Chain A
Amino acid sequence: GENVEQHPSTLSVQEGDSAVIKCTYSDSASNYFPWYKQELGKGPQLIIDIRSNVGEKKDQRIAVTLNKTAKHFSLHITETQPEDSAVYFCAASRIAGSARQLTFGSGTQLTVLP
């Protein structure tokens, strides 16, 4: 089955700096890669996703890049703010018919220092 590795496990940045979180996946058939933000005591919240036919996607301060050949994808947050502090999870899925289970990475605790 799919295996997703995520690095780093913790990341501290100064407010205004950029943050980068990286993930690798093992199943070359995976074709959908979402990123979730989880705040303390809450469920994962989808912040951005990318499909395998696209190399990069951007939404305001958040961007995701995908390298299918190397089987890795990254989350980039620019101009970080204290409210960006949370745990971020990457995930991978092989969407085929009704099959679409997500395999999650182990999470990155991002702390934005004011």
Chain B
Amino acid sequence: EPEVTQTPSHQVTQMGQEVILRCVPISNHLYFYWYRQILGQKVEFLVSFYNNEISEKSEIFDDQFSVERPDGSNFTLKIRSTKLEDSAMYFCASSGQGRNEQFFGPGTRLTVL
């Protein structure tokens, strides 16, 4: 069964450093998403991406964040200058054309020291 994969599973970084989180969505899916979950809190929407551009973004997704689909398979989230409060689990998700269901990856745990 096809699934969303994410790398790395755990990323530790120093405050102020740049990080790139990587995702491989389900092939033939066209909509891509990033969500985050701070420990013990709700899953929060960050951004959605369709047709090579951002469709929606939340207030969390400020100028420090960017997304890219550099090739036909990867979907990345970049945080330019990490802050302590960026520590969270980051989930990638994807959905297919004409389908509402979003399928989530296993997540990347980001720890900012």
Chain A residues in contact with chain B, CB under 8 A?
32, 34, 36, 41-46, 49, 51, 89, 91, 93, 95, 98-107
* Interface residue? B107 (CB, 8 A): yes
Grouping DSSP codes into helix (H, G, I), strand (E, B) and loop, the B interface class, with mixed when no group exceeds half, is strand
| A101 x B91 contact (CB < 8 A) | no
Contact present for A43 and B106 (CB under 8 Å): yes
Query: Nearest 10 A-B pairs (CB), nearest first?
Result: A43-B104, A98-B55, A98-B50, A104-B43, A101-B45, A43-B106, A44-B104, A32-B100, A104-B42, A43-B107
Our pick among A44, A49, A51, A101 for the contact of B56 (Cβ within 8 Å) is A101
Task: Given A34-B102, A42-B106, A89-B43, verify A101-B51 contact (CB < 8 Å).
Answer: no
Contact-residue bracket for chain B:
20 to 34
Contact A46 to B48, CB < 8 A, known contacts A100-B31, A106-B42: no
Q: Which residues of A contact B42 (CB under 8 A)?
A: 89, 104-107
Instruction: Give the chain B neighbours of A98 by CB distance below 8 A.
Output: 31, 48, 50-51, 55-56
Contact of B100 with A49 in the complex, beta carbons under 8 Å? yes
User: Are the C-beta atoms of A51 and B43 separated by less than 8 Å?
Assistant: no
| A106 smallest CB distance to B (angstroms) | 5
Pairwise interchain contact A100-B48, C-beta atoms closer than 8 A: yes
A103 to B59, CA, bound (A): 13
Would you call B100 and A93 a contact (CB within 8 A)? yes
Task: Decide yes or no whether B103 CB sits under 8 A from chain A.
Answer: yes
Which B residues are CB-close (under 8 A) to A107? 42
Contacts of A105 in B (CB 8 A): 42
